[in-house]
Amino acid sequence: MKPQAILPIVTYPDANSDAIAANAVSLAAQLGADLYAVALHPEIPEVSSPLSRLAPRVPKLRVPELIREADALSRSRGEELLAKVGKEAAEKSVNLTTGVLSRPLALLGEAAAAETRYFDVTLLGWEAENPTSKAIAEAVLFGSGRPVILLPELSKVHQIDHVAIAWDGSRVAARAVADAAFFLGRSSRVSVLTIADEKGLKEHDAERLAASLRNRSLVAEGYAIDAEDCPIGVTIQEHAIKRGAQLLVMGGFGHSRMRDFVLGGATKDVLNDLRIPVLLAH
């Protein structure tokens, strides 16, 4: 059965960068997946301000015209990005279909999450300073029930043959490992990372999972790493990159500090400085 991937594209008010096209298609090609790229278009209602009728010559009160301009900008950027994805897909022989999803801005994240439930994996472009892509990513992560791969838009996505796993033995961490099975099965190396001084993790250390993966004929090693004085999310990424990983696999952890990864602080640490693709499961 051929994998099916979806790429929700943010168009307004803060659109994805052009890099999302090459990165998403590159990953879809590695997955051997069909790709559905959908431009997320926020519906902006045509409302007329009472003040604009009273003072039509005042530029600041040209509300309907400004709304039409914003709508046109969103649609234009969506068409531009879909065209770039199409070009990349043709070059890499990725089967591509495209579409547009229109909803009121407040409901766009929820609609995107619902759309992704029909696919095996969601690919999302990520820039720390893009609040629109951040809101969509959070909605999809918590609402889709599917694995999400965040792609750093400021760096190129390369061939993934070394996977790092952030592990604490929790249900959601195990779910993330299961969701990453495709990449694990095709990797030449797997590094399992556990925070060494995290209370309650002794019986769920990195080497235990590494041994389990080796029983499945994978080349895996476990590493206990120090939390250090920097945030958990930064520590995990630094150690993954240090060992040469091209993909980091993480879940929503359930133990003290590491639980914050999806629920709070550590998520922000990673997303504020995303350096490699991160597969998240919740």
CATH number at residue 86: 3.40.50.12370
Rounded distance between C-alpha atoms, residue 164 and residue 66, angstroms = 47
115 falls within a domain: yes
CA atoms 154, 158, 162, 168: torsion sign: positive
What per-residue confidence (pLDDT) applies to 104? 93
CB of 177 within 8 A of CB of 189?
A: no
Low-confidence stretches of the chain (pLDDT beneath 50): 49, 51-52, 54-55, 58, 203, 253-264
Amino acid 261: pLDDT: 43
The SS3 of residue 15 is: coil
In this structure, the answer to whether residues 213 and 147 fall within a common structural domain is no
The parent domain of residue 190 ranges over 162-277
In a domain, 282, yes or no: no
Q: What is the pTM of this model?
A: 0.85
Give the tokens for residue 43: 């519906």
144 with 178, same domain? no
Tally of structural domains, the chain: 2
